Amino acid sequence: MKESYSIYHQEYIIMAEYRMLQTENLQGIYVIPSYENSLLWFGVIFVRSGVYEGGVFRFTLTLPEKFPNDSVPVVTFTSKLYHPAVNANTGVLNLNEVFPQWDRKQNHIWQILKYLHLIFNNLNFKSPANVEASVAFKNNRKVFLEKVKECVMSSIDHIYDDPPIDDKHYITFKPYDPELHETAKNIMLNLSKTNEGSHGISWVQPGSFQSFSKEETT
């Protein structure tokens, strides 16, 4: 009985964390807990500025078994990402500098995602996870930018890949088809004009990988 209560209590906390991050201004970042396992979240970030601009990078967020009374959650990029803060072999984002330990009273998942957003603009780290990338950024900017461009292009090339696992909540993308998407796009655009509480619109303009992009009006 106690174990069942503990599981339900944990599920409640995880859903509360998910609702909390929906109120934050996490532009270009989208996450959803796995259908099969609430401790595993699928995510994708659309980078809109800086040297990684145009990149569409997938990642997972893994919560520890005793969350929130345990270690720091783990962010792992599943897209190839050449970055000083990301381990080149595992894809794991180094969170030690900002989350040396997890305090359930002060720390929340949205803070991790906020940091994930910031790493694409701040490339200086005291303890880089990828020393080669860190050295290249400081001493050989040309080589660094070439490798960054490679991973940005690779992320775009793989945006329509089939899901690597069978999970209903895995985030997928399909090429824009006016017959399928135009009506839904117009509905979402109209809702965004009338609903101030809306958290955005989920479509991508043809020829662009900028999420929630729409034609400029004069």
pLDDT tens-digit series, residues 111-155: 999 999 999 998 989 899 999 999 999 999 999 999 999 999 999
pLDDT for residue 218: 45
The pLDDT of 203-209, averaged and rounded, is 46
Phi then psi dihedrals of residue 23, to 5 deg: -90, -5
CATH number at residue 137: 3.10.110.10
pLDDT band for 87, please (50, 70, 90 cuts): very high
Name the amino acid, one letter, at 194.
Answer: T
| CB hemisphere CA count around 61 (13 angstroms) | 27
The three-class DSSP label of residue 15 is helix
Q: For residue 201, is pLDDT > 80?
A: no
The answer to whether residue 193 sits within a structural domain is: no
DSSP state, residue 14: H
* DSSP bridge partners of 76: 60, 92
More confident residue, 129 or 182: 129
* Low-confidence winner among 106-120, 123-137, 181-195, 204-218 (lowest mean pLDDT): 204-218
The answer to whether residue 210 sits within a structural domain is: no
The answer to whether residue 113 sits within a structural domain is: yes
The answer to whether residue 110 sits within a structural domain is: yes
% of the chain residues with pLDDT over 90: 67
Q: Which tokens belong to 113?
A: 């995602």
The answer to whether residue 201 sits within a structural domain is: no
pLDDT for residue 74: 98
End-to-end alpha carbon distance in the chain:
62
* DSSP bridge partners of 72: none
* Nearest alpha carbon to residue 120 among 31, 45, 32: 45
Q: How far apart are CA 67 and CA 40, in angstroms?
A: 12
Q: Which tokens belong to 107?
A: 């720390």
The answer to whether residue 29 sits within a structural domain is: yes
Bridging pattern class, strands 74-77 and 56-62? antiparallel
The pLDDT of 54-75, averaged and rounded, is 95
Q: Which tokens belong to 183?
A: 């009506």
The pLDDT of 156-184, averaged and rounded, is 91
pLDDT band for 94, please (50, 70, 90 cuts): very high
The answer to whether residue 34 sits within a structural domain is: yes
Q: For residue 5, is pLDDT > 90?
A: no
Number of domains in the chain: 1
The range of the structural domain enclosing residue 128 comes to 1-158
pLDDT band for 214, please (50, 70, 90 cuts): very low
Phi then psi dihedrals of residue 173, to 5 deg: -130, 145
* Nearest alpha carbon to residue 91 among 138, 153, 137, 133: 133
pLDDT for residue 62: 97
**67 φψ region: left (φ > 0), alpha (ψ -120 to 50), beta (else):** beta
DSSP state, residue 211: B
pLDDT band for 160, please (50, 70, 90 cuts): very high
Are 163 and 172 spatial neighbours (Cβ–Cβ below 8 Å)?
yes
pLDDT band for 2, please (50, 70, 90 cuts): low
The answer to whether residue 81 sits within a structural domain is: yes
pLDDT band for 207, please (50, 70, 90 cuts): very low
Q: How far apart are CA 71 and CA 2, in angstroms?
A: 22
Rounded to whole angstroms, what are the CA distances from 166 to 19, 94, 95? 25, 28, 29
In tens, the pLDDT along 6-17 reads 778 899 999 999
